[in-house]
Amino acid sequence: MEHSIRNHLGALALFALAAVPLASAPALAEDPIQLGWVGPLSPPGNYSGGQEMQWAVQLGVDEINKAGGLLGRQLEVTYEDTKGQPAEGSAAAVRLITKNNVSAIFGEFHSSVALAEIEEAHKYGVAWMGTDVWADDITAKQYPEVFRVSPANSLVYVKAADWTVEQGFKNIAIIAENTDFGQGGAKIIADELQAKNVAHTLATIDLNQQDFTPALLRLMNQSPRPDAIQMVVAGQAQYQLVKQACQLGLAPTAETKLIGSSGLLQKEVWEVDGACAKNLLIVNVAQPKSQWNDKAKAFVAAFTERYKRAPTGVALEAYDTLGVVAEAIRKAGSADRAAIVRALEEIKYEGANATYSFPTTKEPAWAFHQFMDVPFTIIQYTEENQGPEEAAIVYPKNWATTDKILP
């Protein structure tokens, strides 16, 4: 009997010891918080911009996890390549929501793709935060789940058009891609120029084209020839436009300035266009180096050390997009989808590029959940292989480093 009791007590003790790690396991190894990133990592999308965005996000994820994660849980991001195609973006959003069970989705470089993704985010009630997508319609739909850290077309291109007029340009050509971003931005510029009685011409291009010579020749043979060309183009097509305009002797020249968008900020522009990129003017969504806060300085240093290249404004936007979503999760105290949406409406977050909040005002329609104080400059490359952080700043006046436009 004594032997039986000892065996029984021994079995109970072993069971109790075995039960201890089982009981504590969930607290020690709780599942990671799942987030989804979307953006172009292969053609025909702007894959160089997408790659830079992904790098910036992963840097931020590693920093958060090294510091203990979010709500005591590690952060895990699934990256989806949307290839600059709306159908790919829609499918990616559905996979992230239904297969990966993400708490929120963020990223994207192409507005038409973003417009496809937000339909799925709205359908499933999942927060979606845009990184570098400018079409007004993205926030103008006023979906509760949709937010944006980058500018709406109406925030940037009215000011860009006004600047061209202030510079004394009198015949402005607009080259726009046939997408929501391109056509929306072109209309805003054209309307502003029309209101100021400035002559302008619109040329629409297909992003799948490789030869833009016919459209450029039409502009070149105009009388008078354009003295400025504003490109509203987000993809790799800008590289070819710059090269072909340069080879024709059209722009950038003393007679015709060439103005591009954030797709020309990555160093690949020099690899493709070489000396033709010198004197390019570019709309850059970023504060100048002189205005960087400590978070921006730390990010630039860490990014440069890890990836052996300086980050652009696109990378800063991507890093801050992750930061905003992470802060919303902290504020909500939960990775619950609805709780994150509510927290984003109440958030005020100091990032590397700006301090973010998202108004619920409904007029104008695009202002809903649109970060309104987006910092942007117009820069000019004055030397070959120059990075945007070293380029001359020609706008706005309070940040300008020169009052002259070259050549």
Whether residue 179 is contained in a domain is answered as yes
Q: What is the DSSP string of 15-34?
A: HHHHHHHHHHHHHHSPPPEE
E strands along 211-321, which residues? Answer: 228-232, 257-260, 281-284
Query: Is 1's pLDDT higher than 80?
Result: no
How many independent structural domains does the chain possess? 2
Are 114 and 218 contained in the same domain? no
How confident is the model over 114-166, as pLDDT tens digits? 999 999 999 999 999 999 999 999 999 999 999 999 999 999 999 999 999 99
Q: Is the pLDDT of residue 28 over 80?
A: no
Q: Percentage of the chain with pLDDT > 70?
A: 93
Query: Are residues 72 and 137 both part of a single domain?
Result: yes
pLDDT of residue 15: 38
Shared-domain flag, residues 135 and 225: no
Mean pLDDT (the chain) is 92
Is the model's pLDDT at 22 over the cut of 60?
no
**From 16-25, 205-214, 317-326, the region with the lowest mean pLDDT:** 16-25
The yes-or-no verdict on residue 19 having pLDDT over 50 is no
Determine the pLDDT at residue 210: 86
Given a cut of 80, whether residue 13 has pLDDT beyond it is no
Q: 86 in a domain, yes or no?
A: yes
Please tell me the predicted confidence (pLDDT) of residue 208: 82
Residue 226 C-alpha from the chain's centroid: 30
Same domain, 240 and 184: yes
- pLDDT confidence tier of residue 21, bands split at 50, 70 and 90: very low
Q: What pLDDT is recorded for position 2?
A: 40
Asked if residue 162 and residue 45 are part of one domain, the reply reads no
Sheet holding 127-130, edge to edge: 75-81, 33-39, 104-107, 127-130, 146-148
The reply to whether 404 falls in a domain is no
> Quick one: pLDDT at residue 41?
98
Give the per-residue pLDDT at 14.
39
- Position 18 scores a pLDDT of 41
Q: For the purposes of burial, counting CB atoms within 10 Å of the CB of 342, is it exposed (0-12), middle (13-18) or buried (19 or more)?
A: middle
| pLDDT at site 327 | 98
Residue 267 lies in a domain: yes
Distance (Å) of CA 60 to CA 77, 148, 195, 315, 322: 11, 18, 44, 11, 7
pLDDT band for position 381 (cuts 50, 70, 90): very high
Same domain? 130 vs 196: no
Q: Is residue 10 part of a domain?
A: no
Asked if the structure places residue 322 within a domain, the reply is yes
Same domain, residue pair 268 and 306: no
pLDDT tens string 30-67: 899 999 999 999 999 999 999 999 999 999 999 999 99
**Domain presence at residue 406:** no
Q: How confident is the model at residue 29 (pLDDT cuts 50, 70, 90)?
A: low
Is 274 in the same domain as 385? yes
Same-domain status, 280 and 216: yes
Residue (of 347, 353, 348, 349) closest to 294 by Cα position: 353
Give every strand in the sheet of 199-205, ordered side by side.
199-205, 171-177, 228-232, 257-260, 281-284, 377-380, 392-395
pLDDT in tens, 224-251: 999 999 999 987 889 999 999 999 999 9
For the stretch 251-289, pLDDT in tens is: 999 999 999 998 899 999 999 999 999 999 999 999 999
Domain check: are 158 and 278 in the same one?
yes
The residues with which 38 forms a beta bridge, in sequence order, are: 80, 107
- Same domain, yes or no, for 124 and 177? no
Torsion (CA) 325, 90, 47, 52 in degrees, nearest 10: 10
Q: What's 335's domain CATH number?
A: 3.40.50.2300
The pLDDT, as a whole number, for residue 367 is 98
Orientation of helix 111-124 relative to helix 86-98, angle to 10°: 30
Instruction: Note the pTM of the prediction, 2 decimals.
Output: 0.91
pLDDT tens profile 58-116 = 999 999 999 999 999 999 999 999 999 999 999 999 999 999 999 999 999 999 999 99
Let me know whether 340 and 362 are in one domain: yes
Contact yes or no for 143/121 (Cβ under 8 A): yes
Please say if the pLDDT value at position 3 is more than 90.
no
Q: How confident is the model at residue 209 (pLDDT cuts 50, 70, 90)?
A: confident
Domain that holds residue 122: 33-151+292-367
Euclidean distance between CA atoms 21 and 27, whole angstroms = 10
d(CA 190, CA 232): 12
pLDDT computed for residue 20 by the predictor: 39
- Report yes or no on 16 lying in a domain: no
